């Protein structure tokens, strides 16, 4: 198969990073050229072979973007990857149409492919437009982290305008490094405040190599984004700055809108110089933001109140005395355990003992997992009990003998239901747990999907066991054998239900044996039921008789009917109820 021929449009920053992370080691792709814009004197040179890797022994030529259409034709380009920032959506689509008209595909790479995961906590500070005040905010965050006793290393968005090989990895720990790396005036403006405040800062060309070195000397990595570009590293906390003086730009510039939509925290700068109308317009744009921050504590109370009036559940973080009113007002006030004041801790509902915002995410994930497993536990037990009630009540109403003895009922409740239910309470978390929308604040355990599955599982269990009991008696089978068949069928149905109830939405075929404790519990219970049926002294105790192989196949087949019935119920739930209902 011929390699796909790729051209990367850029401005000596994001374009090089996209190449390094996505294409450099891909044997199925040949990057045939870069184009350059925005920055003077970066075209008409090569991306050096020393960085481009063994697949590019001659390096990669960089052309001026004005030659784009001709390059697509002359170099037989398949895909054009747009890789620079702070341009309007209209501009991006004009470029897309220029590429499409020349016959190539127009590609925008996503964050999953281009962000690198660090081994230490990472905070990214980005913006919806350049000039929002990002650098000052980054330095303020670095100061807070240093005051908390953390070793902070900042990594700056690239500005490699000189010798790319020499600039592959640059470490600025003292002012003399600015001269050693021949930094430009623009770079000095960004780097000097970090260095003078005690923060080591890295920059360069190869951000994989930069990460290896930077994280070795830090407790926290701080990504200091350039323009309105996306982070190069996967953040544990994604902070996006917005500008009320340019309200509306957060939805009309690339990739700033992506920064807005992906943010964990949104910070509104320039509040003191913005008009109420500008702030209101910005608020309307980001009304769906899950976490929201302001630069002044007095603004937080206004934000919390506004979101609560709109029906949102609001979490708010703070550490100072002035934050206490908003912490108290919020649905979930979160105080800092290390740097927070006693007043803030008293007012908050939750305290971060490590002052790490990633702990909030971990706590939410753990809470969602526990809540989901409580639902599974209750679904299983209540459906089992409902099935038993239906079986016994149905037999009584129809004037039939009791299909189960007292000791058999006790066995089902204590032995058969007990261990699988406990295993469901420690079921592994589903992989999409944190991608689900939050449940409604007033929604309890017994949601409509849960009640539906309990009712369907219990009703079908009662119906098939009662029908089997009546049919067995009608064939002339002795009562004791008919009771044994009914008893074993009920036990096996519980086993099938245990696997089905591992999710109230996913099919039972999705990772069916992922819960090893459930597998062990079912194996143990199967051993017990065989002993109850075939060991003589247990037969006397439980009123059972031995069953033939043919009867076992009948019993297993009837019990297995619960699986497609519950699958049909889940299919209906997925169609009728949105996630979180």
What's the whole-number average pLDDT of the chain?
87
Q: Which of 69-83, 152-166, 300-314, 529-543 has the highest mean pLDDT?
A: 69-83
Q: Quickly list DSSP for 12-51.
A: SSHHHHHIIIIITT-TTEEEEEEEE-SSTT-SSEEE-HHH
| Token representation of residue 102 | 């020349």
Residue 289 has pLDDT above 70, yes or no: no
The pLDDT tens digits for 207-244 are 999 999 999 999 999 999 888 999 999 999 999 999 88
Phi first, then psi: what are they for 167, rounded to 5°?
-95, 10
**Rg of the chain (C-alpha set):** 32
Asked if residue 312 has pLDDT above 80, the reply is no
- Residues 318-327 have pLDDT tens digits of 887 878 888 8
Sign of the torsion formed by the C-alpha atoms of 55, 59, 65 and 69? negative
242-257: pLDDT as tens digits: 988 888 888 889 999 9
Q: How many CA atoms lie within 13 A of 50 on its CB side?
A: 9
Q: How confident is the model at residue 11 (pLDDT cuts 50, 70, 90)?
A: confident
Task: Let me know: does 404 contact 391? Beta carbons within 8 Å.
Answer: yes
In the prediction, which pLDDT does 26 show?
93
62 contact partners, CB below 8 Å, separation of at least 6: 33, 34, 35, 36, 42, 43, 44, 45, 46, 47
pLDDT for 295 equals: 47
For residue 60, the model assigns a pLDDT of 95
In this predicted structure, what is the pLDDT of residue 152? 93
Tens of pLDDT, residue by residue over 403-448, are 988 898 888 888 777 888 898 888 888 877 777 777 776 777 788 8
Q: Is the pLDDT of residue 293 over 60?
A: no
CA 311 centroid distance within chain: 24
Query: pLDDT band at 373, cuts 50/70/90?
Result: confident
Burial class (CB in 10 A: 0-12, 13-18, 19+), 476: exposed
The pTM assigned to this predicted structure is 0.56
Would the pLDDT of 282 be above 80?
no
Query: For position 415, what pLDDT does the model report?
Result: 73
Phi/psi for 62 (5° steps) reads -110, 125
Whole-number pLDDT of residue 291: 53
pLDDT beyond 60 at 288: no
* Better-predicted residue by pLDDT, 433 or 141: 141
Q: Which of 188, 86, 193 is nearest to 130 (CA)?
A: 86
Please compute the mean of the pLDDT values over residues 491-519 and round it to a whole number. Answer: 88
Query: Which residue segments constitute the domains of the chain, with CATH numbers given?
Result: 4-114 (3.40.50.720), 122-295 (3.40.50.300), 360-576 (1.20.1110.10)
pLDDT for res 364: 84
The Cα 120–Cα 521 span in angstroms is 38
Among residues 257, 224, 215, the alpha carbon closest in space to that of 155 is found at: 224
For residues 433 and 99, the model is more confident at 99
């Amino acid at each position: 198969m011929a390699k796909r021929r790729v051209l990367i449009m850029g401005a000596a920053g994001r374009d090089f990073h996209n190449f390094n992370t996505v294409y450099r080691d891909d044997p199925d792709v040949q990057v045939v050229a870069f184009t350059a814009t925005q920055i003077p004197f970066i075209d008409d040179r090569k991306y050096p072979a020393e960085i481009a890797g063994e697949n590019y022994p001659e390096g990669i030529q960089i052309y001026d973007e004005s030659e784009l259409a001709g390059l697509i034709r002359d170099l037989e380009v398949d895909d054009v990857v747009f890789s620079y920032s702070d341009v309007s959506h209209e501009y991006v689509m004009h470029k897309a149409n220029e590429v499409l008209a020349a016959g190539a595909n127009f590609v925008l790479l996503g964050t999953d492919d281009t962000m690198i995961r660090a081994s230490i906590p990472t905070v990214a500070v980005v913006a919806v437009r350049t000039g929002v005040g990002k650098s000052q905010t980054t330095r303020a965050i670095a100061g807070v982290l240093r005051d908390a006793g953390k070793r902070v290393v900042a990594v700056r968005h690239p500005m490699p305008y000189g010798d790319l090989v020499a600039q592959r990895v640059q470490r600025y720990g003292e002012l003399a490094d600015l001269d050693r790396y021949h930094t430009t005036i623009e770079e000095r403006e960004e780097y000097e405040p970090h260095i003078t405040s005690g923060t080591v800062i890295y920059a360069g060309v190869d951000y994989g190599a930069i990460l290896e070195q930077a994280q070795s000397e830090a407790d926290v990595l701080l990504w200091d984004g350039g323009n309105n570009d996306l982070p190069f590293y996967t953040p544990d906390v994604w902070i996006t700055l917005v500008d009320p003086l340019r309200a509306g730009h957060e939805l009309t510039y690339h990739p700033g809108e992506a920064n807005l939509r992906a943010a964990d925290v949104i910070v509104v700068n320039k509040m003191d110089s913005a008009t109420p109308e500008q702030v209101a317009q910005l608020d309307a744009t980001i009304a769906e933001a899950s976490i929201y921050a302001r630069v002044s504590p007095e603004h937080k109370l206004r934000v919390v109140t506004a979101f609560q009036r709109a029906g949102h559940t609001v979490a708010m973080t703070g550490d100072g005395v002035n934050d206490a009113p908003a912490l108290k007002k919020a649905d979930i006030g979160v105080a800092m355990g290390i740097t927070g004041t006693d007043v803030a801790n008293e007012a908050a509902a939750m305290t971060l003992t490590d002052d790490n915002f990633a702990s909030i995410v971990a706590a939410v994930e753990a809470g969602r997992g526990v809540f989901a497993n409580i639902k599974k536990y209750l679904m299983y037990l209540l459906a089992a009990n409902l099935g038993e009630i239906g079986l016994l009540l149905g037999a009584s109403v129809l004037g039939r003998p009791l299909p189960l003895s007292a000791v058999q009922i006790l066995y089902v409740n204590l032995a058969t239901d007990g261990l699988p239910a406990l295993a469901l309470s420690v079921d592994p978390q589903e992989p999409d747990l944190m991608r689900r929308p939050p449940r409604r604040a007033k929604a309890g355990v017994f949601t409509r999907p849960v009640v539906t599955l309990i009712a369907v599982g219990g009703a079908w269990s009662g119906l098939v066991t009662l029908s089997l009991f009546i049919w067995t008696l009608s064939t002339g089978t002795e009562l004791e054998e008919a009771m044994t068949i009914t008893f074993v069928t009920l036990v096996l149905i519980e086993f099938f239900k245990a696997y089905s109830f591992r999710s109230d939405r996913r099919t039972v075929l999705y990772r069916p044996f992922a819960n090893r404790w459930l597998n062990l519990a079912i194996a143990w219970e199967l051993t017990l039921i065989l002993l109850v049926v075939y060991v003589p002294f247990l037969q006397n105790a439980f009123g059972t008789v031995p069953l033939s192989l043919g009867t076992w196949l009948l019993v297993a087949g009837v019990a297995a009917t619960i699986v497609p019935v519950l699958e049909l119920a889940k299919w209906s739930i997925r169609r009728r109820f949105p996630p979180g209902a």
